[in-house]
Structure 1
Amino acid sequence: MDSGNLAWSVTATALVLLMTPGVAFFYGGLVKAKSVVSMMMMSFGALGLVSVLWILYGFNMSAVDSTWAFAGNPFSDFGLANADNDTLVGATFGATFAIITVALISGAIADRAKFGSWMIFAFVWSTLVYFPVAAWVWGGGWIMSLGETFGFSTNVIDYAGGTAVHINAGAAALALALVLGKRIGFQKGIQKPHNVPLVMLGAALLWFGWFGFNAGAEGTFGLLGTEDSSVGLIIVNTLGATAAAIIGWLVVEKLKDGKATSVGAATGAVAGLVAITPACANLTPGWALLLGVVAGVVCALAVELKWKLGFDDSLDVVGVHLVGGLIGTLYLGFFATETGLFVGGNAEQLILQAIAAFGVLIYSFVLAYAIGFAIEKTIGFRIKNEDEIAGVDTVVHGEEGYLLAERV
């Protein structure tokens, strides 16, 4: 790796790492004031735990030698003891993706989860779900090779994590929301964000870091600056789709509720970022703008499903990440440059995208439900009702997010 690629790789890694604190701020602002510490701690807990697991064995599991292998050998280079410099840089970049994927799940169980149980879930789910899925999508596994397996002229496209990150996390979030059940008093309007500026700050940090998320691989894998580099396309699509999604979300809010809100703008931006993640390198800017609008509109409507279907996804991980990930992944089947159904290709790309998307969705949901159910039935996953009413921050962490000084 030359010095330019190395510098960008380290920068991109730092950008993506910053996204997890961004998630913490975004989620933290959305919950009750007496739950903000708990909410943010689940992101920081994931950051600590998953980093260690990735270095010890997760990176080893994220690449396979044969198409149908479940995962790589976790002990092949335990602790990265023998990795060279370029491998270590790539491994660190990959760690940031694993961290944020786990952190995203926590939004579905806000206000009612035990921290220790969450950490156990994060440990088992990372090992059994994220690390193998990363191998399937990017490490030579069955999803990466699906087009060749079918004899198609194209392969599955997931540049930065529509399946491995967002569908994966969204499906797990739905499973945990079902396992833990509804919050006390669950109904539409159960709570309002306690700190809107914190939500906006979190969204801003996410958007900032997402340029490393989407464009980082161009340097990490030695592509930045070469003639076939698509970094320009990636960054303009990351900007455009996100901006268009804000507009789409706000229009829906205005028509539906009569007001366009700042929380809606922030959430719309996240929906656009989610949708463009798998597609950033394979759409022309115009189609990326359309994708953003579609994601903003559909996700704004999808977040209402929890009230109709009766599952308590506290912070709309399902409506934004699962639905947005599905939109971005399937959209490529229609509009991916040269291979999409409507832009010179045929149905092959759409078939591949659908199999990959729903394959990851089903696997993640089933495993997350089983892991969460086992934890709930043994040590317990959900806090007691009286503790939920009193406030999870003081009960679980012995801290308060805001302590007003007494007047002397």
Structure 2
Amino acid sequence: MEQGNTAFLLICAALVLLMTPGLAFFYGGLVKAKSVISMMMLSFGAMGLIGVLWVLYGYAIAFPGSEGLIFPWSIDSSALGLSSLVEVPEGAAYPPLAFVAFQATFAIITVALVSGAIADRAKFGSWMIFATIWATVVYFPVASWVFNFGLADDGSFAYGGWITYGMQEWFGVGAIDFAGGTAVHINAGAAALALALVLGKRVGFQKGVSVPHNPPFVLLGAGLLWFGWFGFNAGSELAADGTAALAFVNTIAAPAAALLAWLVVEKIKDGKPTSVGAASGAVAGLVAITPACASLQPIWAILLGLLAGAVCALAIELKFKLGFDDSLDVVGIHLVGGLLGTLYLGFFANGTGLFVGGDATQLLVQAIAAFSVLIYSFVLAYVIGFAIEKTVGFRVKNEDEIAGIDTVVHGEEGYVLADRQA
């Protein structure tokens, strides 16, 4: 066992786990002051719930070995509860449980991302029911499509999920998704769109009505997300090597460029660059570079960041034009940014992209991967959300939404003045 790689993987897992509290601050600052506790609890609820489900059976579904590469239900029962993963195989670079921990943090943040689309109007209990079912039938299988892989005894690549290994067999090249553009961002963005449609618009929904109540929270959250994203991207190499270093540099370059591009679009469109725009631009760049961070030269990462910042800054306006209430722009940032980063590889991926020595095959497989995950996640999330809404109810009453749902759902207030308490 290589202690250096083990330490690297465990540190990266801790960094990715920090992203979920960072997301809670990012989302919490964007909602009304009377909904901040509710919004942040959706992320913390995901931490508790998915952390337990991952240990009980999530890992067993997501990593079933060479079986069930499309619908991974032929799971190895010995992996349930991780009972078979305590022993370290001879010659392993890191303990199996280190990889389990790393992937657990991906599952947690992906589920938490979805919650931004239903801010200010969702019941906490219904959200937890949705998160349980969606993680089980959507995230865990999709993670297997993308991240499940195995090595032969000689160390060569032996098998993987259909998005990587399967399409390599069919087309001669597999889809590239180094850290989760499909499994995390497109997956969460598609589910967010489905839930936004199921729950409907907030009371009085229109452009300019809802404003972030705490931009410093938004900036703090974006900073924590960016910090944790180094573990997300570089850690996906599973080794402290040159590829991890490339992913690290690209995780600086792309979001930095996206931040600048978003601010330029804001200045041209609205006359003023905002702090929330800077935070959102950085996150858009981080989303876009996630699948591509190990497959681009840094100069192409900067170009991707510029495109992501500009495109996502414009994409967040779609909800007003198309009439769906994606409260915190999960669709405009994560779905659009994830699609952009995934498809961009078809043009600029090292050696296989259309413009850098390859042909259109890489673009084809990237598109198949992206839209397969999008459709699968959207359809199942809509069905799950609709069923919950029609049975136990997913949305709070209009009067509770108007008053602010923190006290109604959690019996707490985000901001309690001392003289009021007295």
- In the superposition, the TM-score normalised over structure 1's length comes to 0.96
Of 216, 224, 231, 2:240 maps to 224
Structure 1 counterpart of 2:72, one-letter code: A
**Partners of 1:184 and 1:362 in 2: CA distance:** 29
Which residue matches 2:82?
Answer: 80
Which residue matches 2:2?
Answer: 2
Which residue matches 1:130?
Answer: 139
**Partners of 1:211 and 1:68 in 2: CA distance:** 29
**Partners of 1:275 and 1:250 in 2: CA distance:** 17
**Residue 232 (structure 1) shift:** 1.6
**Partners of 1:11 and 1:193 in 2: CA distance:** 33
Residues 348-380 of structure 1 show CA distances to partners (whole Å, capped at 9, x for unaligned) of 100000000000000000000000000000000
Q: Is the 8 A contact 1:163 1:360 kept in 2?
A: yes
1:191 maps onto 2:207 in alignment: no
**Residue 78 (structure 1) shift:** 1.5
**Partners of 1:92 and 1:63 in 2: CA distance:** 13
**Partners of 1:173 and 1:74 in 2: CA distance:** 31
Q: Unaligned regions of 5+ residues in structure 2, if any?
A: 89-94, 149-159
Which residue matches 1:203?
Answer: 222
Structure 2 counterpart of 1:101, one-letter code: T
Which residue matches 2:108?
Answer: 99
Which residue matches 2:398?
Answer: 385
Which residue matches 2:183?
Answer: 164
Alignment identity in percent? 70
**Partners of 1:247 and 1:182 in 2: CA distance:** 31
Q: Is the 8 A contact 2:261 2:310 kept in 1?
A: yes
Which residue matches 2:152?
Answer: none
**Partners of 2:209 and 2:260 in 1: CA distance:** 26
1:212 maps onto 2:231 in alignment: yes
**Residue 69 (structure 1) shift:** 3.7
**Residue 74 (structure 1) shift:** 6.6
**Partners of 1:391 and 1:81 in 2: CA distance:** 44
**Residue 63 (structure 1) shift:** 2.1
Structure 1 counterpart of 2:137, one-letter code: L
Residues 165-202 of structure 1 show CA distances to partners (whole Å, capped at 9, x for unaligned) of 00000000000000000000000012110001000000
**Partners of 1:75 and 1:115 in 2: CA distance:** 32
**Residue 224 (structure 1) shift:** 2.2
**Partners of 2:76 and 2:178 in 1: CA distance:** 24
Which residue matches 1:348?
Answer: 361
Which residue matches 1:269?
Answer: 282
Q: Is the 8 A contact 1:67 1:142 kept in 2?
A: no
**Partners of 1:390 and 1:20 in 2: CA distance:** 27
Q: Say how many residue pairs are matched.
A: 401
1:255 maps onto 2:281 in alignment: no
**Partners of 1:368 and 1:384 in 2: CA distance:** 22
Which residue matches 1:49?
Answer: 49
**Residue 23 (structure 1) shift:** 0.3
**Residue 272 (structure 1) shift:** 0.2
- Which consecutive aligned stretches of 4+ in structure 1 deviate over 3 angstroms post-superposition? 66-69
The residue matched to 2:419 in structure 1 has which SS? Answer: coil
Q: Is the 8 A contact 2:78 2:84 kept in 1?
A: no
**Partners of 2:123 and 2:24 in 1: CA distance:** 17
The residue matched to 1:157 in structure 2 has which SS? Answer: coil
Q: Is the 8 A contact 2:69 2:144 kept in 1?
A: no
**Partners of 1:332 and 1:346 in 2: CA distance:** 12
**Partners of 1:22 and 1:232 in 2: CA distance:** 23
Q: Is the 8 A contact 1:63 1:141 kept in 2?
A: no
Structure 1 counterpart of 2:97, one-letter code: L
**Residue 3 (structure 1) shift:** 1.0
Q: Unaligned regions of 5+ residues in structure 1, if any?
A: none
The residue matched to 2:77 in structure 1 has which SS? Answer: coil
**Partners of 2:331 and 2:186 in 1: CA distance:** 9
Q: Is the 8 A contact 2:255 2:285 kept in 1?
A: yes
**Residue 255 (structure 1) shift:** 0.3
Q: CA RMSD in A?
A: 1.2
Q: Is the 8 A contact 2:59 2:79 kept in 1?
A: no
Residues 199-245 of structure 1 show CA distances to partners (whole Å, capped at 9, x for unaligned) of 00000000000000001123x3xx324xxx31221111000001000
Which residue matches 2:336?
Answer: 323
Residues 139-187 of structure 1 show CA distances to partners (whole Å, capped at 9, x for unaligned) of 12211223333242x2110000000000000000000000000000000
- In the superposition, the TM-score normalised over structure 2's length comes to 0.93
Structure 2 counterpart of 1:81, one-letter code: S
Residues 282-305 of structure 1 show CA distances to partners (whole Å, capped at 9, x for unaligned) of 000000000000000000000000
**Residue 57 (structure 1) shift:** 0.6
Q: Is the 8 A contact 2:114 2:191 kept in 1?
A: yes
The residue matched to 1:145 in structure 2 has which SS? Answer: helix
